Chain A
Amino acid sequence: MKSALGVTASDLRLRRTSLLMWAASVAGLVAGIAAIYPTVRANPSLDKVYGDMSPTLQALLGGSSLTSPSGYLRTQLFAFFLPAVLLVFAIGRGASSVAGEEEDRTLDLLLSQPVARGRLYIEKAFAVVIGVSVLTLACTAAIVALRDPSHLALPYGNLVATCMQMGLLCTALGLGAQAIAAATGHRSVGIAATAGYTFVSYVVYGLSATVHPLYDVRPLTLWRWYLAGDPLTGGFDGKEVGVLVAVSLVTVAAGVAAFHRRDLHA
């Protein structure tokens, strides 16, 4: 049936070029950082850079070691930098997915078809998920391809698990941005609220390692469900993946309910 996932297919086609450019860029970024590792590994004195920092700063930056494979990838890529890049994509795409159409005045024409609002929302969420997945796959492919040439001695499974959990974190936050933007009709609200939560929860998660009162609120930060199990050394963690998937699904359900109830702006 041609109409099944028609919105998803049309959204992906509309943004195909931009998505491919994003994928090429993040793959290049990951490959570039991975390619530098042999130089860093050969210079043990670099460990002092992170080793001399306070534990709080270490926690915020993702670790104490720069020259071990896991320490290098955590501090230079996965603790903040790469998810931040992917989050720019995920939050931006999520916020514009429904609210962007509304603000650009293309939503009326799209919704004048026999498509329920909930279905339109879910198909658009699906397009966001596919977009983030493509970028995650591009990152995974780059890091897996450079594992041996760059002497990143970590199991393939751990690299894949880390990328996957990072992708799930970005998916959950992108869907959050979609829900808030669609509930209010303003993509800026979705972006601001989600980016604000992302940043504050990152700091809270980082500080919770040394500031004990914050330890109890760690479960409220999605970063805890991405990083606390350290997938680079610990590998895949079903519980953490489950939490990120559940948060994503709840976010979509809440977004559908809020979008269904609203008067759409002309």
Chain B
Amino acid sequence: MGGPGTVAAIQARSLWKSYGTSRGITDIDLDVARGEILALVGANGAGKTTFMRVLLDFIRPTVGAVTVLGFDSVRDSVEVRRRATYLPGELVIPRQLTGLQAYDRFTFARGEGRMARVHALAERLDLDLSRRVGDLSKGNKQKLGLLISLAPPADLLVLDEPTSGLDPLVQRIFAEIVEERAEEGAAVLLSSHVMSEVEQVARRVALLRDGRVAVVDDVDAIRARSRRRGRIRPRNPEDLPAIAQAIAAVPGVADVVADGGVVAFACSGDMDALVKRVADFAVTAFDIAHADLEDAFFA
């Protein structure tokens, strides 16, 4: 049953988990290839954590099945967990342990002799393993969670809200480490309730809504059709109507509003025509916000 070779890292088929109430997952089909980084994005209660906890056999599917590297999540759960590491979304580590003791408590069954790798990773995350968990800040606790899930060798990393509580610098280091693990061949499944936290890391995104996979797409494709918010402030306020009229005619520009000395709009696709049209006017500010990929899912 299962094993290495060419099998998918995750293969979910008609997976249902119902709790009788609203929360749960409904008819999920999802494949994650080896070496792939896939993000589950959705509001709280959309089913991200439920899906991850089914993978690791903390909860059992009501209908359907999911395999991890060919191993059935229920029947071969120990084999699944031998190959997968996990970062819980609500990370709690006993306060009285030091970082190193905590690492030991939560990885003892994964074999020994990789302490050099653990210390190297701790150094990279700037985490002091000799301090007690109770004395760590929220961000440092999260780093310890990352260490526990990223340091042991694994073919699949299941990371629930991995970047929560991390400052931007550590988020970048996290993205680098995940990238490296993927290059080594590990599949990575991570979740977030905000797209902006995962679009730097993930190659593909699955949007979950009310327990269903609403859309699955490549981040690049989503970015290409994403709408960005823009604002133009002309030097001469009398230009406002003219600018509004001019850019409204550009393909891909919508929702043009001239108010309070600025023209606000939304745009998508190629920016060239827009920039050239705006160049006809004297402007003091021209801002294009970072693409809101969340909107783009529904574009």
Residues of A within 8 A of B (CB): 2-3, 6-7, 10, 13-14, 104-106, 108-116, 263-264, 266
Contacts and interface: CB of A to CB of B under 8 A. Distances in A.
B134 to A, nearest CB: 13
Contact of B109 (A13, A104, A115, A266): A115
B60 A2 contact: no
B90 interface: yes
Interface in B78-124: 78-79, 81-82, 84-86, 88, 90-94, 96-97, 101, 104-112
Interface stretch (B1-9, B51-59, B250-258, B287-295): B51-59
Given A2-B108, A3-B108, A266-B49, A113 B81 contact: yes
A112 B107 CA distance: 9
Contacts of B104: 10
Nearest to B59: A263
B96 A109 contact: no
A264 B58 contact: yes
Contacts of B92: 104-106, 109
Interface in B239-253: none
- Among B56, B88, B90, find the residue whose CB has the most chain A CB atoms closer than 10 A: B88
B148 interface: yes
B78 A115 contact: yes
A115 to B, nearest CB: 5
Contact of B79 (A6, A13, A114, A266): A114
B88 A108 contact: yes
Given A106-B94, A108-B86, A113 B60 contact: no
B128 to A, nearest CB: 20
Nearest to B111: A3
Interface string B109-149: 11110000000000000000000000000000000010010
B108 A112 contact: no
Nearest to B93: A106
B275 to A, nearest CB: 48
A178 B101 CA distance: 25
Contacts of A115: 78, 81, 109
B58 A10 contact: no
Contacts of A264: 53, 58-59
B90 A266 contact: yes
Please provide the 4 A-B residue pairs with the shortest distance between their CB atoms, ordered closest to farther.
A112-B86, A6-B108, A114-B82, A113-B109
Contacts of A10: 104-105, 108
A109 B109 contact: no
A109 B145 CA distance: 9
A114 B109 contact: yes
